[in-house]
């Protein structure tokens, strides 16, 4: 009997599984799991045991980073309270600790230096252009007019001296009074002002465009614009050339960079290689946590379920950590390091780590699917007779495992009548819970081996990263470590092979009645051959489980093999020198996903139109037997038979797009708000007031508050106001504690600033990215209050804003003025919608995945023709990771849509649904390529026949491309979808598969790994179709449908 066979098989391996698994895992101790029917109070109490993510950084590396970053800022702060330094540097010495908050002494030393150099370079650019502008502006005013204005100024000063005007400035000397008159606008000239505004306005516009186009150059553009603001608001008041105006900022900035580098080198120095190795461990470590959680879920599937929110957060955190690793890898060729591994060794871990990351994403999706099926009533106790006996029809598909239909077709073609349902119900009860129990028994040794592999990888990179100077391992100990790692690889290989055979045998034992004594499938007329939908679902779940877990284990084995290979080649530490710099240059001019979504949105049109570079690449000869994936992509993206505009038309169209795109509109808004807030500084009636009240603060705040999209601006307004107020209050507390009512005690000020710096630096390093603008304003406002208060009591001068509270309320007022000015130019004439931008970005990403799907199909066609295509798997894997990075970067902007006033029909809920469906589609495409690429020719032909993806008419691929194009165009325009576009892609694919005649299935055939991969490939194909259906449903729910006429049903 089947049940007896299953029990016998399970009993034979109980001891082995228990010995391999060790003690049973406790499900409630893992963050990936949640009790299914637990008391809410118990869940809340369990959550209290763990610190929040922004506070949970009490570990060695984070505390070291906090220490050296805080020491650097504190040193910059102490310089403010040393009178000789303050007199030498000027009133803006507090800019040094502000810059050290912007660029903390953490991470790669070279990146810190590069950040400081970027700030200095931006100031140098603004300074150089300001000097050129000053020369040109002064040349527009004739010398005679200048002398006449100076003579009038001298007469005014002399008259004031004769009348003995009771004026604080006049009483301190005629030169001071003359300087006051100059800053009040006595030397203003319209020609000079016009030259300044024209030339500096052009420079600010170009810098704003550069900031939007290359976010990694944000420091250059920011400080270039700030220095230009100084020239724009102060230089028109001056009667003669004074090119050293910006040195009041440049000297503190250069000092801050020096302090940053020194602290980074003196306190816990780390090379780029050491940081990258630590980040590799950080990327891999969550994998071990998940493996333990997955083992616990299989063991206690009737008590716990997978925490989907934790899965999503883990996926996002791993992608963020991997992206940070990629940024640091770009600087490896410039690295000086002392250790066992050289830069090329660390770089060689990128590809194995990408494979692990891709396989891990598949395991996360698998665990979520299995948990949802178990919670939905698939467990042993919850499986009802009706659910188990439901026969499969052409209209019933599985939402979690869509490939169950072809499995039913493979195992049985008998239509079940109503009288046969009782017989089906008596077979294989329970279903889902029994399969999960089988999974747990057969996979426990493999999961234990996988956990050991993860631990070995982490141990390998940590041993290479630690004990470089002290406590090194002896040669015997190092050899023992390598042998242990080799043993771990061998154990994983054995468990992979054993699991692949044992799990299938255990599952097929439940289906013995469907095969005769020779392993052949029973005749279709035998009632034992009847298979229900849930039976097929459970069997398909076995295939998916095996393939995902085996691929996951293979990826980890490949990475550990590379680690062991490096360990054997690099047994002793040594000094490594830099190799080359081109990778660093490539990283500087590349774009982060979350910072360059606008570019992605704009590129959707460019990618669809095809450019000359694509045409040039596509024009390469591809008639040989070996093709490159990049060449095929260029061929796919090239337009054929498209009518080209004339040269003049193309130029005018490109010029219009250049000025009217998101970057152009952002730069135009920046220019408008700059002119609006700088004009009072060059009007004679308001110039003195503007200078005394530090109107430059309002201008800078308006420029920094300006964002490319409305939702970002609304949230930025809230967080920046809160940060300014908080920073002002903190600054007041520090000032009045350290100074009281007097001029200030340098020792008291230095003492009180130390703990405050540590607290703010903690938030600077570990706060969520959406809060960083507010944290930066807390630090900036605090130092403005403290710094200007100290300046007023130690180096008083005309225009000082006062002490303590006077600085605080002036700062608040100017920030509000700057924000309102930015709000006006943002809202008029049309607010830049983040929803429209997000939909364009999603459309561009869908187009990229459409190209990847077409590349896979084209590679299959070339394989049938005897041609090979290189680097397809690498291209598909990289594109999948790139898609997930893009989608992860869209999560925060989508959440901020609630702060936006937009006419877009897409709300945050709809866009999140589109993002989820898009992610499933991308994963399905990657898995479809991975499994079909490994199929032997016979199974590949069978897959082509069942799916129709290689048919000459191209109907299947054409439908997919058509749906993707329609959805992408609708996302960009918001137009309604046609009513005839029904979410029936998966259903039509099922109907097609049922019409195809397939080979008979035997037990031996089902046990073949190729057959299992074939079934999983079908499942991936149907999963892709279901994702398309979900995209259609989600988008149509927002935009509605059109052409709802009577014959639409017939057209379906």
What was the pLDDT predicted at 997? Answer: 60
Residue 754's pLDDT band, with cuts at 50, 70 and 90, is very high
What was the pLDDT predicted at 14? Answer: 38
CATH of range 272-335+337-375+403-409+431-516+531-576; options 3.40.50, 1.20.58, 1.10.10, 2.40.50: 1.20.58
What was the pLDDT predicted at 524? Answer: 43
Q: What is the mean pLDDT of residues 252-276?
A: 86
The CB density around residue 642, as the number of other CB atoms within 10 Å, is 8
* Beta pairing class for 977-978 and 1041-1042: parallel
SS3 content of the chain, % helix, strand, coil (to 5): 75, 0, 25
Least confident of 704-708, 732-736, 821-825, 896-900: 896-900
- How far apart, in whole angstroms, are the C-alpha atoms of residue 1017 and residue 994? 16
Q: What is the mean pLDDT of residues 455-473?
A: 75
Residue 417's pLDDT band, with cuts at 50, 70 and 90, is very low
Choose the most confident range, by mean pLDDT, from 19-28, 191-200, 1003-1012.
191-200
Instruction: With a cut of 80, say whether residue 194 has pLDDT above it.
Output: yes
What was the pLDDT predicted at 672? Answer: 93
- How far apart, in whole angstroms, are the C-alpha atoms of residue 487 and residue 485? 5
Least confident of 51-65, 680-694, 910-924: 51-65
Of 324 and 756, more confident:
756
Of 108 and 40, more confident:
108
What was the pLDDT predicted at 999? Answer: 61
Asked whether the domain spanning 834-1042 has the same topology as the one spanning 272-335+337-375+403-409+431-516+531-576, the reply is: yes
Instruction: With a cut of 80, say whether residue 965 has pLDDT above it.
Output: yes
* H helix runs in 466-595, sequence order: 475-508, 533-569, 582-588
Domain boundaries, the chain: 60-152+174-269+659-827, 272-335+337-375+403-409+431-516+531-576, 834-1042
What was the pLDDT predicted at 989? Answer: 81
Span 974-994, pLDDT tens digits = 888 887 777 778 888 877 777
- How far apart, in whole angstroms, are the C-alpha atoms of residue 674 and residue 699? 7
Least confident of 221-235, 514-528, 993-1007: 514-528
Strands (E), 741-817: none
Handedness of CA 759, 765, 769, 772 (dihedral sign): positive
Question: What SS3 class is residue 807?
Answer: helix
What was the pLDDT predicted at 1002? Answer: 63
Question: What SS3 class is residue 619?
Answer: coil
What was the pLDDT predicted at 310? Answer: 79
Q: What is the mean pLDDT of residues 254-265?
A: 88
Instruction: With a cut of 50, say whether residue 108 has pLDDT above it.
Output: yes
Span 402-415, pLDDT tens digits = 444 444 444 433 33
What was the pLDDT predicted at 866? Answer: 62
- How far apart, in whole angstroms, are the C-alpha atoms of residue 886 and residue 891? 9
Instruction: With a cut of 90, say whether residue 942 has pLDDT above it.
Output: no
What was the pLDDT predicted at 364? Answer: 80
Using a 10 angstrom Cβ sphere, with 0-12 exposed, 13-18 middle and 19 or more buried, the burial of residue 804 is middle
Determine contact, residues 394/413, Cβ cutoff 8 Å: no
Tokens of 606: 């460019």
Instruction: With a cut of 60, say whether residue 62 has pLDDT above it.
Output: yes
Q: What is the mean pLDDT of residues 674-688?
A: 90
Instruction: With a cut of 70, say whether residue 421 has pLDDT above it.
Output: no
Least confident of 393-397, 550-554, 630-634, 936-940: 393-397
Least confident of 64-78, 265-279, 351-365, 455-469: 455-469
Span 332-342, pLDDT tens digits = 777 777 777 88
Determine contact, residues 245/231, Cβ cutoff 8 Å: yes
Of 509 and 719, more confident:
719
Average pLDDT, the chain: 75
Determine contact, residues 192/135, Cβ cutoff 8 Å: no
The alpha carbons of the chain give a radius of gyration, in whole angstroms, of 34
Using a 10 angstrom Cβ sphere, with 0-12 exposed, 13-18 middle and 19 or more buried, the burial of residue 580 is exposed
| Rounded to 5°, angle at Cα 513 from 512 and 516 | 85
Of 393 and 514, more confident:
514
The CB density around residue 612, as the number of other CB atoms within 10 Å, is 7
What was the pLDDT predicted at 435? Answer: 60
What was the pLDDT predicted at 515? Answer: 54
- How far apart, in whole angstroms, are the C-alpha atoms of residue 693 and residue 716? 24
Handedness of CA 863, 868, 871, 875 (dihedral sign): negative
Of 220 and 543, more confident:
220
Strands (E), 715-812: none
Q: At what angle do helices 1009-1039 and 937-947 cross, to 10 degrees?
A: 30
Q: What is the mean pLDDT of residues 656-681?
A: 89
Instruction: With a cut of 60, say whether residue 377 has pLDDT above it.
Output: no
Name residues whose C-beta falls within 8 Å of residue 530's C-beta, 6 or more positions apart in sequence. 391, 412, 414, 416, 420, 423, 424, 427
Residue 215's pLDDT band, with cuts at 50, 70 and 90, is confident
Of 1 and 685, more confident:
685
**Beta-ladder partners of 333:** none
Span 805-843, pLDDT tens digits = 888 888 888 888 988 898 888 887 777 777 888 888 888
Instruction: With a cut of 50, say whether residue 614 has pLDDT above it.
Output: no
Span 851-873, pLDDT tens digits = 888 888 877 777 666 666 667 77
- How far apart, in whole angstroms, are the C-alpha atoms of residue 237 and residue 235? 5
What was the pLDDT predicted at 264? Answer: 85
Q: By C-alpha distance, which of 488, 470, 475, 382 is closest to 434?
A: 382
Instruction: With a cut of 80, say whether residue 441 has pLDDT above it.
Output: no
Q: What is the mean pLDDT of residues 737-761?
A: 88
Q: What is the mean pLDDT of residues 82-108?
A: 87
- How far apart, in whole angstroms, are the C-alpha atoms of residue 106 and residue 275? 10
Determine contact, residues 735/808, Cβ cutoff 8 Å: no
Span 779-804, pLDDT tens digits = 999 999 998 889 888 888 777 777 88
Instruction: With a cut of 80, say whether residue 416 has pLDDT above it.
Output: no
- How far apart, in whole angstroms, are the C-alpha atoms of residue 330 and residue 582? 9
Of 186 and 510, more confident:
186
CATH topology of domain 834-1042: Methane Monooxygenase Hydroxylase; Chain G, domain 1 (1.20.58)
Of 392 and 492, more confident:
492
What was the pLDDT predicted at 628? Answer: 64
For the chain, what percent of residues have pLDDT higher than 90? 13
Q: What is the largest CA-CA distance in the chain?
A: 124
Count of alpha carbons within 13 Å of 73, Cβ hemisphere only? Answer: 30
Name residues whose C-beta falls within 8 Å of residue 5's C-beta, 6 or more positions apart in sequence. 509, 512
């Amino acid at each position: 009997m089947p049940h007896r066979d299953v029990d016998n098989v399970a009993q034979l391996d109980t001891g082995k599984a228990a010995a391999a698994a060790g003690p049973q895992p406790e499900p409630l101790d893992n963050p990936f799991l949640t009790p299914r029917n637990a008391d809410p109070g118990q869940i809340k109490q369990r959550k209290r045991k763990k610190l929040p993510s922004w506070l949970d950084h009490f570990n060695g590396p984070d505390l070291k980073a906090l220490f050296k970053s805080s020491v650097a800022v504190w040193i910059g702060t102490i310089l403010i309270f040393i009178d000789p330094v303050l007199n030498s540097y000027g009133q803006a010495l507090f800019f040094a600790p502000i810059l050290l908050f912007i660029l903390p002494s953490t991470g790669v030393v070279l990146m810190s230096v590069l950040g400081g150099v970027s700030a200095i370079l931006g100031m140098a650019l603004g300074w150089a252009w300001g000097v050129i502008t000053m020369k040109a502006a002064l040349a527009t005013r004739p010398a005679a007019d200048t002398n006449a204005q100076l003579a009038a100024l001298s007469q005014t000063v002399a008259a004031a001296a004769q009348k003995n005007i009771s004026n604080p400035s006049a009483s301190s000397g005629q030169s001071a009074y003359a300087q006051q008159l100059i800053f009040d606008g006595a030397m203003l000239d319209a020609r000079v002002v016009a030259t300044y505004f024209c030339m500096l306005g052009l420079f600010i516009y170009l810098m704003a465009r550069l900031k939007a186009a290359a976010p990694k150059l944000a420091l250059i553009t920011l400080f270039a614009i700030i220095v230009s603001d100084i020239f724009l608001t102060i230089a028109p008041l001056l009667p003669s050339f004074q090119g050293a105006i910006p040195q009041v900022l440049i000297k503190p900035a250069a000092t801050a960079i020096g302090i940053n580098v020194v602290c980074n080198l003196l306190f816990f120095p780390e090379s780029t290689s050491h940081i990258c190795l630590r980040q590799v461990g950080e990327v891999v470590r969550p994998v071990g946590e998940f493996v333990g959680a997955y083992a616990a879920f299989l063991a206690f599937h009737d008590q716990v379920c997978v925490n989907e929110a934790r899965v999503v957060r883990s996926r996002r955190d791993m992608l963020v950590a991997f992206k940070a690793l990629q940024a640091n890898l770009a600087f490896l060729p410039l690295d000086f390091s002392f250790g066992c591994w050289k830069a090329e060794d660390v770089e060689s871990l990128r590809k194995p780590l990408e494979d692990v990351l891709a396989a891990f994403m598949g395991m996360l999706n698998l665990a979520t699917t299995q948990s949802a099926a178990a919670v939905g009533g698939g467990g042993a106790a919850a499986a009802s007779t009706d659910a188990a006996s439901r026969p499969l029809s052409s209209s019933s598909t599985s939402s979690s495992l869509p490939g169950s239909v072809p499995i039913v077709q493979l195992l049985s073609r008998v239509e079940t009548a109503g009288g046969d349902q009782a017989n089906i119900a008596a077979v294989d009860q329970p279903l889902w819970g029994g399969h999960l129990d089988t999974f747990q028994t057969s996979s426990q040794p493999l999961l234990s081996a996988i956990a050991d592999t993860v631990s070995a990888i982490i141990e390998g990179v940590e041993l290479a990263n630690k004990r470089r100077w002290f406590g090194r391992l002896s040669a015997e100990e190092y050899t023992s470590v390598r042998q242990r790692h080799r043993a771990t690889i061998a154990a994983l290989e054995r468990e992979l092979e054993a699991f692949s055979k044992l799990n299938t045998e255990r599952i097929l034992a439940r289906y013995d009645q469907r095969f005769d004594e020779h392993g052949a499938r029973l005749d279709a007329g035998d009632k034992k051959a009847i298979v229900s939908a849930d039976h097929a679902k459970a069997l398909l779940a076995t295939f998916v489980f095996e393939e995902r877990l085996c691929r996951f284990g293979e990826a980890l084995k490949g990475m550990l093999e590379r680690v062991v290979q490096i360990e054997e080649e690099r047994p002793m530490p040594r000094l490594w020198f830099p190799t080359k710099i081109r990778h660093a240059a490539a990283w500087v001019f590349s774009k982060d996903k979350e910072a360059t979504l606008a570019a992605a949105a704009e590129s959707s049109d460019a990618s669809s139109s095809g450019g000359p570079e694509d045409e040039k690449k596509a024009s390469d000869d591809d008639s040989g037997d070996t093709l490159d994936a990049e060449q095929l992509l260029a061929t796919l993206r090239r337009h054929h038979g498209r009518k080209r505009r004339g040269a003049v038309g193309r130029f005018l169209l490109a010029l219009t797009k250049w000025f009217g795109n998101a970057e152009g509109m952002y730069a135009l808004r920046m220019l408008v708000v700059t002119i609006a807030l700088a004009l009072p500084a060059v009007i004679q009636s308001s110039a003195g007031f503007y200078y005394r009240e530090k109107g430059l603060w309002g201008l800078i705040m308006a420029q920094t508050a300006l964002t490319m999209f409305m939702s970002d601006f609304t949230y930025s307004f809230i967080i920046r106001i809160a940060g300014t107020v908080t920073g002002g209050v903190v600054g007041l507390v520090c000032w009045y504690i350290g100074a009281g009512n007097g001029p200030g005690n340098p020792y008291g000020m230095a003492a009180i600033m130390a703990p405050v710096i540590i607290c703010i630096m903690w938030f600077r390093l570990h706060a969520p990215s959406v809060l960083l603008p507010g944290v930066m304003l807390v630090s900036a406002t605090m130092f403005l209050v403290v710094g200007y208060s100290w300046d007023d009591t130690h180096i008083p001068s005309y225009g000082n804003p006062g002490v303590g509270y006077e600085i605080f309320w002036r700062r608040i007022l100017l920030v509000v003025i700057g924000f309102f000015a930015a709000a006006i130019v943002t809202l008029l004439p049309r607010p830049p919608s983040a929803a429209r931008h997000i939909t364009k970005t999603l459309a561009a990403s869908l187009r990229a995945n459409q190209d990847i799907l077409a590349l896979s199909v084209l590679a299959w066609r070339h394989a049938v023709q005897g041609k090979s295509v290189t680097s397809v798997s690498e291209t598909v894997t990289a594109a999948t990771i790139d898609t997930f990075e893009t989608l992860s970067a869209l999560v925060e902007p989508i959440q901020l849509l609630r702060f936006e006033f937009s006419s877009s029909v897409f709300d945050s809920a709809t866009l999140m649904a589109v993002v989820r469906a898009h992610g499933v589609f991308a994963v399905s495409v990657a898995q479809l390529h991975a499994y079909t690429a490994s199929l032997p020719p016979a199974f590949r032909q069978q897959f082509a026949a069942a799916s129709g993806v290689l048919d000459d008419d191209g109907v299947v691929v054409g439908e997919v491309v058509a749906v993707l194009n329609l959805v992408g165009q609708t996302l960009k325009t918001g137009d309604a979808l046609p009513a005839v576009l029904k979410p029936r892609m998966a259903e039509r694919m099922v109907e097609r598969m049922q019409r195809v005649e397939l080979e008979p299935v035997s037990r031996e055939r089902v046990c073949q790994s190729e057959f299992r991969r074939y079934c999983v490939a079908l499942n991936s194909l149907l999963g892709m179709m279901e994702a398309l259906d979900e995209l259609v449903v989600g988008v149509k729910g927002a935009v509605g449908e059109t052409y709802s006429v009577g014959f639409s049903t017939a057209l379906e």
